[in-house]
Structure 1
Amino acid sequence: MPKKSNTSLFLLLAKISHLFFCFCLMTSLCTPYINPIHLPFLPFLGLGFPVLLVINIAFMLLWLFRRSKWFWGALLVVIISIPFQMKIFSLNIISTDIPTHNKSQFKLMSYNVRLFDLYNPKRKEALNSRDAIFSYLRKENPDILCIQEYYQREKPGFFETSDSIMQIMQGPWFHKKGLYLHKSKQTFGLATFSKLPIIHKGNVQHKGPTGNNKNYCIYIDVVKSKDTVRIYNVHLQSIKLETDYYTKKITEGNQDETKAGLKRAYAKLKKAFTIRAGQSAAVSDHILNAPYPVIVCGDFNDTPMSYTYHRFESKLVDAFRNTSNGFGATYVGLLPAGRIDYIFHSNELNSSNFNIQKRALSDHRAISCVIY
């Protein structure tokens, strides 16, 4: 008798838990469509979508094992989420081949270089990291190079970057924007280098967390075989959890510091979600008025299950999903974030040969593809 009672209690708790996680998963599917300003908790469910999906699949298998009618409800929920699963995991059965003798094709790369490892306390390691990035750029040989967290210091200085990249790109065309420190003559920001002629360049204005723009978006118009394309280089609001003292303490076991760390992490994430929503709106609105087909690439600091990603994916083609397979994780920091760097392009363009850097030289992997 007690055994039967225990089984009944287990099934009751399992059903209640399943309903809860089912509700969370279905609610998370709304994340891409609702501005986090209106529902601040929603992006957190979107962030947890992969975990919620795994939990629901586990319940589905449990009900299948027990031959319960609840299996069909669990299966229905998992099926409904399939289009969103495809945002996380790309599957391309047919490979995309570049047409022979296509004169309009060019290779584009986006790379968050984390200031070329400038703040590594060991100077020799910092220089080695910077030089390794330069070697990778030479090997990949992109026609367009979009860099986020770019660093440059006016001469004289031990940490030279600009001349080396200009030499690698073998062209005089570039566009840069960043925070310039007059005293130290250093620049921190974005840079786009091109082997193709730039006929126009500009900036997209959006406000930062205090009204000051510390994350940027720049664009260039380039000409390739009589075709003109506008290329946006984007770096949206970052979270910077790993650099925060309190959020570092989450994993260290002290209860009080863990609690403080979780509160701090929640506040920073909530703020970043809201800021990125505004920044992505400014960039996506600017795209609507572009006179040419567009490419938007960079560090978006948001997953494919986010409002920010949807702002671009609803108007443009995600080059990774168009040409590649797998999860495509680009962030390699201590905190798992998955794919947060993207290349989007207009429907008039096509993409092929999407590549994600295998050996990480920054906290982001470089991404590249051929556009034609």
Structure 2
Amino acid sequence: MKIVRLIFLIAHLGILFLLLGTLLNAYVPPKVYPWFNLLSLGFPVLIIAYVVLTVFWVFNWKKRAIVFIALGFLFVNPVKRWVNYSSENREASDLKIISLNAKGGVLGIKNIEDYINAQNPDIVLMQEHVRDYNFEGLGKGKGDPIISIFSKYKIIDQKELIESNSETNNAYANQTDIEIKGNTYRFINVYLQPFKFEKNMVKLKGNSDEDEQKVKDIVKRLIPTFKMHQEQVAAVRKGIDESPYPVILVGDFNSVPNSYEYYHLGKGLKDAFVESGRGSATSFHDYKFPIRIDYVFTSQSIQPLSYKVDRSVRISDHYPVIATFKLKK
């Protein structure tokens, strides 16, 4: 039994150090050391293993359980970025938005249109929209084939922050200044460089040689993309930092919580899910593994009232994200 406990202790300490590595994404950019960003992908598995081993020490009446419980508080906020249970806010909202990666409308343009129209949002931000859409009462802003914005309110100005310029750079971002009830707000719609994985590329089959090669191929795609994201994040941050207006940052970051992209795009902003979300924030459902890559962030002056990942529909490989806000008078 002592040997088993020793093995568990070593494993627990190893998991702790890996989890601490995910926190370093707030400080270490991918171009310096991309492996911390790689760790963020495994955060759900790591934190579950950490909790299970902590419970093991508790039931074995070991003092080390106290140490692991205390250290576990370091990961409360990182966990809330995946799973959260905010109290319900019944305050009347001033603004309702929907964010959706539409996957090019391959699951039906009319399905998307019917869904959006039934929700009656004030503003819709789409990624991978590709096709033309007709939403009731919403005017379309200038856009490109990948990202677009539709608004009930007057669009004052628009500007590209990231523009795809080659076959290898497929990231997009733009800022749209919109006048809402006498005040101007900057909406930034983001679609960071995709990894372009297909299911067969990531599904392991139990063949050691074939699976080993698949893992190597996955890492070869991940690391360069992380480094591209660093440059793209810097371009988006410029639109945020130079904004004279409150900002609502929305989009498909193609990055999970606790990643470099999450920490640096969200710096100084509120994560609407952490502020007002309930349940799981997992938004990409094409894989069985829990993945949150769709986000809504706001300036401090904007109060998120609700955040919902709508799992009742499958109109894309992403679930729609619906958020409501109280705007500063």
TM-score, with length taken from structure 1: 0.81
Q: Deviations over 1:220-264 (max 9, x none)?
A: 111122111111111011112226x5x24x422333321221111
Q: Residues 212 and 339 from structure 1, CA distance in 2 versus in 1: closer, same or farther, beyond 3 angstroms? A: closer
- 1:34-49 to structure 2, matched below 5 A, reads 34-49=28-43
The answer as to whether partners of 1:331 and 1:364 remain within 8 angstroms in 2 is yes
Query: Does residue 78 of structure 2 align to residue 84 of structure 1?
Result: yes
**Corresponding residue of 1:155:** none
Q: For 1:270 and 1:96, how far apart are their aligned partners in 2?
A: 43
Q: For 2:164 and 2:286, how far apart are their aligned partners in 1?
A: 26
Query: Does residue 7 of structure 2 align to residue 13 of structure 1?
Result: yes
**Corresponding residue of 1:313:** 266
**Corresponding residue of 1:189:** 146
Q: For 2:226 and 2:288, how far apart are their aligned partners in 1?
A: 16
**Corresponding residue of 1:216:** 172
SS at match of 1:97: coil
**Corresponding residue of 1:272:** 225
SS at match of 1:151: coil
The answer as to whether partners of 2:81 and 2:273 remain within 8 angstroms in 1 is no
The answer as to whether partners of 2:170 and 2:194 remain within 8 angstroms in 1 is no
**Corresponding residue of 1:199:** 156
Amino acid at match of 1:83: N
Query: Does residue 322 of structure 2 align to residue 365 of structure 1?
Result: no
**Corresponding residue of 1:137:** 116
Q: 1:94 Cα deviation (Å)? A: 5.5
**Corresponding residue of 1:102:** none
Match of 1:146 among 106, 118, 125: 125
The answer as to whether partners of 1:173 and 1:198 remain within 8 angstroms in 2 is no
**Corresponding residue of 1:97:** 91
The answer as to whether partners of 2:272 and 2:298 remain within 8 angstroms in 1 is yes
- 1:112-131 to structure 2, matched below 5 A, reads 112-117=101-106, 126=107, 129-131=108-110
SS at match of 1:364: coil
Amino acid at match of 1:205: I
SS at match of 1:90: strand
Q: Residues 93 and 349 from structure 1, CA distance in 2 versus in 1: closer, same or farther, beyond 3 angstroms? A: same
Q: For 1:10 and 1:259, how far apart are their aligned partners in 2?
A: 28
Q: For 1:350 and 1:70, how far apart are their aligned partners in 2?
A: 40
Aligned length: 325
Q: 1:355 Cα deviation (Å)? A: 2.5
Match of 1:236 among 192, 195, 218: 192
Structure 1: gaps (5+ residues): 1-6, 100-104, 118-125, 153-161, 178-187
Higher alpha-carbon Rg: 1
The answer as to whether partners of 2:140 and 2:148 remain within 8 angstroms in 1 is no
Structure 2: gaps (5+ residues): none
Q: Over the residues paired in the alignment, what is the CA RMSD in angstroms?
A: 2.1
**Corresponding residue of 2:55:** 61
The answer as to whether partners of 2:30 and 2:230 remain within 8 angstroms in 1 is yes
**Corresponding residue of 2:282:** 329
SS at match of 2:219: helix
The answer as to whether partners of 1:31 and 1:45 remain within 8 angstroms in 2 is no
Q: Residues 87 and 142 from structure 1, CA distance in 2 versus in 1: closer, same or farther, beyond 3 angstroms? A: same
